[in-house]
Amino acid sequence: MISILLAGGIAIVLSLVFTRGLMAFFARLGKGQPILGAEDRGPQHHMHKQGTPTMGGIGILLAAFIGWVIPHARAGLAFSDQALIMWLTIFVLAAIGFLDDYLKVRRQHNRGIFWKKKGWITFGIVVLLMWLLAAQTSVSETISFTRAAVPGWDVSTPVWIIWTALMVWATTNAVNITDGLDGLAAGSAMFGFGAFTLIAYFAFRNADIYSAIVNPLDLGVLSAAMAGACGGFLWWNAAPARIMMGDVGALGIGAALGLLAVATNTHFLLPIICGINVMEAGSVAIQMGVFKASGRKKRLFRMSPIHHHFELKGWPETTVIIRFWLLAALCVATGVALFIADFTNEIRIIGDAVK
């Protein structure tokens, strides 16, 4: 527990410092986040945010990484190959986001060079990295809900790679879509990382039940560091935001959430814990489906993602953010409750067997 608390505390402080430094750096450059205008059917009501410093995700990920590394100086906490590959995946996807952010800022248009190709490029990279995770670690290759044995569907390695790649890829996109209001993505992600920290710690303390998880304490430290880094960033990103996380942050955070679900064998628990991200991404998919089915004449929402729909209905931005945070907290609480319910049921079964 000390290592987990240490990771979170270090990450919070470093994120506060790093993000403040990034704000000053980008302010000196004189360029910031471009906003889509009416010509691109963008949120015109956000045009006042044009020029806000972006790429704050750099500070989040660096703070989280350092926050994860330092507790390993304590005895009893070893670096796991699984966590190292997870960090590699996080930074590779963040690098793609950084390149997209850089091109957006340089061109002063909110569509990077990867606008239509980024999805395919990132998915291909994630497939390769999930193959590396399967090939180089003893990660459980079952499809699961709350632990490897529930439901514990054994699949071939290629199927597991594609399945987990879809999980990670979808989560990165969902977090990226959620990142449209000040503090919404960072706040909801902080709740999600808190849930995975608890799950990993439960697994560490009950190794006989969660024996399929590789070094759960290291996963808990990683998750706590990400939660702390998101919290530190939120200090500057809360409405009205003085810096935005950008794709570099959204893709890195999304990758971390998806990978933690893979590593803790909570595949089907992920869409519950990240329910707010599922809702945001789902609203975009539904909007596009209705628009195309109607011959490009009708839309279900006034604007997607759905947070813009509520803004256009007259909700102040802060109202949307806080209510969506409450929904995110409810989703996380539901996910954690399901995990603990399975844990207590398994304890009861073990106790009955001993009797």
Q: List, in order, residues 6 or more apart from 349 with CB less than 8 Å away.
A: none
- pLDDT attached to residue 135: 93
- Please, what is the angle between helix 81-107 and helix 157-178, to 10°? 40
Distance CA 154, CA 65 (A): 33
Residue 275 one-letter amino acid: G
- pLDDT attached to residue 116: 63
Q: List, in order, residues 6 or more apart from 336 with CB less than 8 Å away.
A: 195, 198, 199, 273
The ranges assigned to domains in the chain are 2-272
- pLDDT attached to residue 296: 81
| Residues pairing with 154 in the sheet | 142
- pLDDT attached to residue 340: 95
- pLDDT attached to residue 6: 95
- Residue 30, by phi and psi: left (phi above 0), alpha (psi -120 to 50) or beta? left
Residues of the chain where predicted confidence (pLDDT) is lower than 50? 38, 40
pTM value is 0.93
Q: Give the DSSP letter string of 302-350.
A: SSSSHHHHHHHTT--HHHHHHHHHHHHHHHHHHHHHHHHHHHHHHHHHH
Using CB atoms within 10 A of its CB, is residue 190 exposed (0-12), middle (13-18) or buried (19+)? buried
- pLDDT attached to residue 232: 97
User: Could you tell me the CA-to-CA distances from 275 to 1, 189, 326 in Å, in that order?
Assistant: 27, 11, 11
